[in-house]
Amino acid sequence: MFCLGVVVGRVVGFVGGCLVKVSVGGFLVDVELGDSLCSDVLLGFIKSGREVFLKLFMDGAATKVLGVAGVGEEPLKNFYVDASKPEIFARYSWLWLRFPRYSKIIRFQHTLLKILREILDSEGFVELIPPVLNLASDPGLRGARKIPVSVYGTTYELSSSTIMYKQLAATALGKMYFVARNIREEPVENVKTGRHLIEFTQLDIEWAGASMNEVMSLGEKLVYESCLEITEKAGELIEEFNPRHKCFKPPYEKITFSEALSIAREAGVRVSDSRELPQEAEELLSVKVGKPFWLIKFPTSGRGFYYMPDEEEPNKNQDFNLIMPEGYGELIDGGVREFRHERIVRRLEELGEDLSKYSWFLEALRYGIAPTAGFGLGVERYTKYLLNLKYIWEAVPFPKPPGVVNAP
């Protein structure tokens, strides 16, 4: 369970006598202090709630205390962080990371990311390091705002999406992926959903020459196989957090956007023909279908400039969302990419975008790029789904919920 050698453990409780409970990397172990350290002063610190750190030597099941590594000045006894209060939860994220619940979640996410990477690697995908500064990022952010920064007197944007970079990288490598950190200033009211962050992680995948069905099948494989493997490797944790957990075998049903509108309207939910579904409608469908399904063929008017139009319905896209069951909602978003210079220029103009900001991408298009298809899978959202967490900010070490400031 633990690495061998010298480590630092944090005392989390007094057992009795000279025996204390210590957290080592999030795992709990009982440790005997020994006569030289078992003093009234040190035990008083521990009982008062002050943080006490011990230097330990661990050799398999044997643990020896080498000394005291440090003692906190302020007691943390009875300090409670409530995840339903995002402003407090985010402010004290450095603290809740020490709680066993969140140590477990972060370790679970580490295992999940490793599994997702292994599946993609086995399919011939190559991982690249994503950019953080963009000359121009994705304008199709569904009400969120891009964040500009000044660099050497030039305005950049913090990465809100790696879509254009994915297209160019897949042109060179055929199959690629990023584990990308994206930043978007979400509307303040989105904090109420419990499923939005302004800084989040996407597993961003792009595949040159792939059709819509091929890349959707890849998404199904990724979700199903990772679900099976994480259940095998972290079954006890899933049982603790989400005892009703189930892995759904593909293929998944496909529902068109037009069909979704009809279902929502029959249930009395107000929806627009030209905009993406509101969360209320998405949750309705998620509960009604009861298993993962693909929502396909969104209207071009409500999406980004980079989707290929549908051949049969030019006012619709070759795009998709994977919607997870029981009210959870969207996990994957993607589609087939537009790669023709004149078509992308036209779409950017329709969206009212400044073409000069995209000059670097438009230049690449003039030289030619490969047709590609791909998607993004939300890492925190997938963690939230698998562990049945109520709030997405429980699934990231230092969360930035919408509207919350002064979070570290």
pLDDT band at 115 (very low <50, low <70, confident <90, very high): very high
pLDDT of 258 higher than 60: yes
* DSSP tally for the chain: helices H, then strands E: 12, 16
* Most confident segment among 11-20, 133-142, 373-382: 373-382
| pLDDT at position 335 | 97
Q: What are the pLDDT digits (tens) for 154-213? A: 999 999 999 999 999 999 999 999 999 999 999 999 999 999 999 999 999 999 999 999
> What pLDDT is stored for residue 143 in this prediction?
78
Quick: pLDDT tens for 218-232.
999 999 999 999 999
Classify residue 391 by its DSSP letter.
-
- pLDDT at position 196 is 94
On the question of pLDDT at 332 being above 60, the answer is yes
Which structure tokens are listed for 6? 């010298």
pLDDT of residue 59: 83
Interatomic CA distance for residues 276 and 301, integer angstroms: 9
Mean pLDDT (whole number) for 358-369:
96
Domain ranges, ordered by start, for the chain: 5-79, 94-395
Nearest to 293 by CA among 248, 336, 255: 255
Which range among 11-15, 132-136, 206-210, 304-308 has the greatest average pLDDT? 206-210
What pLDDT score was predicted for residue 60?
72
CA 267 to chain centre: 31
Q: What pLDDT is stored for residue 32 in this prediction?
A: 93
For residue 365, pLDDT over 70 is answered with yes
Residue 91: partners with Cβ closer than 8 Å, 6 or more residues away: 404, 406, 407, 408
Peptide bond between residue 251 and the one before it cis (omega within 30 degrees of 0): yes
- Banded pLDDT at 74 (limits 50, 70, 90): confident
H helices within 127-278, ranges in order?
A: 163-173, 212-233, 235-241, 257-266
Identify residue 151 by its one-letter amino acid code: V
pLDDT for 76 equals: 79
Q: Percent of the chain at pLDDT above 70?
A: 98
| Mean pLDDT of the 1-16 span | 84
Average pLDDT score over the chain: 93
CATH fold of 94-395, please?
BirA Bifunctional Protein; domain 2 (3.30.930)
**Do the beta carbons of residue 31 and residue 56 sit within 8 Å?**
yes
Question: For residue 303, what pLDDT is reported?
Answer: 86
pLDDT at 2: 54
Alpha-carbon torsion 377, 378, 381, 382, what sign? Answer: positive
Angle 100-122/379-387 helices, nearest 10 degrees?
Answer: 120
Name the E strands within 112-215.
Answer: 126-127, 133-134, 148-151, 154-158, 175-183, 199-208
pLDDT in tens, 237-249: 999 999 999 999 9
How confident is the model at residue 100, as a pLDDT? 87
How confident is the model over 380-395, as a mean pLDDT? 97
| pTM of this prediction exceeds 0.85 | yes
Mean pLDDT, residues 83-111 taken together: 93
The DSSP code for 248 is P
Q: Which band of pLDDT confidence, cut at 50, 70 and 90, is reported for residue 51?
A: very high
Per-residue pLDDT at 3: 62
- pLDDT at position 278 is 87
Residue 401 has pLDDT above 80, yes or no: yes
Q: Which CATH number among 2.50.20.10, 3.40.50.300, 2.40.50.140, 2.30.290.10 corresponds to the domain 5-79?
A: 2.40.50.140
pLDDT at 293 over 90: yes
Q: How far is CA 160 from CA 106, 133, 137, 305, 393, in A?
A: 23, 9, 6, 15, 18
